[in-house]
């Protein structure tokens, strides 16, 4: 499997969803037969415990998005996360142990994973400045490139795991147990 190097990827701090979208586009061109998923990690409380992250002041984030790739021949799963301090990419097993800390017994409410297979419907950048803090300015400057699909902004629909579970339009929502069983071999 061809793997991207971190320095070959477009990156904007605190725009994990756009970083993943662009990574997916690169990988789909290089590996058209691979199984590629954008994984939205969130929950109704919008507080996810996530370790080994560069930008996080604490391990709790409101949401995070990573790219999960399963190689069709070997069935190996790797994670692309431009915000991690782990290797890039890293094995799914390493990500589960060190970033998700699957070994810690937490309430199931804090661990939800939304899998999105179709990147055609993804559009993330908020036209009204979705990365602002109470209208007081940018938490992080927006990417230097134009919005991916400026006519549509549906990021909140991917992050809202309760609605996500009801309408299932934006992919499947899995518990941590389901998520680990599906991708740990």
**Residues catalogued as catalytic:** 16, 64, 81
Neighbours of 108 (CB within 10 A): 10
| Distance, CA of 120 to CA of 125 (rounded, Å) | 15
- With tokens 């919008």, the residue in question is 46
Task: Tell me the pairing of strands 35-42 and 64-70.
Answer: antiparallel
Contacts of 32 (CB under 8 A, 6+ apart): none
Alpha carbon dihedral 5, 117, 140, 52, in 10-degree steps, equals -60
- With tokens 């902004």, the residue in question is 153
Question: Do 97 and 89 form a contact (C-beta atoms < 8 A)?
Answer: no
Contacts of 138 (CB under 8 A, 6+ apart): 129, 131, 132
């Amino acid at each position: 499997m061809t793997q991207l190097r971190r320095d070959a990827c477009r990156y904007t701090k605190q725009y994990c969803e756009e970083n993943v979208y662009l990574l997916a586009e690169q990988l789909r061109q290089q590996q058209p037969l691979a199984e590629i998923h954008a994984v939205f990690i969130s929950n109704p409380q919008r507080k996810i415990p996530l370790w080994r992250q560069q930008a996080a002041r604490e391990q709790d984030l409101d949401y995070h998005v990573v790219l999960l790739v399963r190689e069709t021949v070997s069935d190996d799963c790797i994670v692309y996360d431009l915000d991690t301090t782990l290797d890039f990419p890293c094995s799914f097993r390493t990500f589960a142990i060190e970033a998700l800390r699957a070994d810690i017994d937490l309430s199931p409410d804090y661990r939800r994973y939304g899998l999105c297979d179709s990147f055609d419907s993804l559009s993330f950048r908020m036209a009204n400045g979705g990365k602002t803090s109470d209208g007081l300015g940018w938490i992080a400057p927006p990417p230097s490139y134009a919005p991916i699909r400026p006519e549509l902004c549906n990021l909140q629909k991917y992050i809202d795991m309760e609605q996500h579970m009801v309408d299932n339009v934006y992919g499947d929502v899995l518990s941590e147990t389901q998520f680990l069983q599906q991708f740990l071999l």
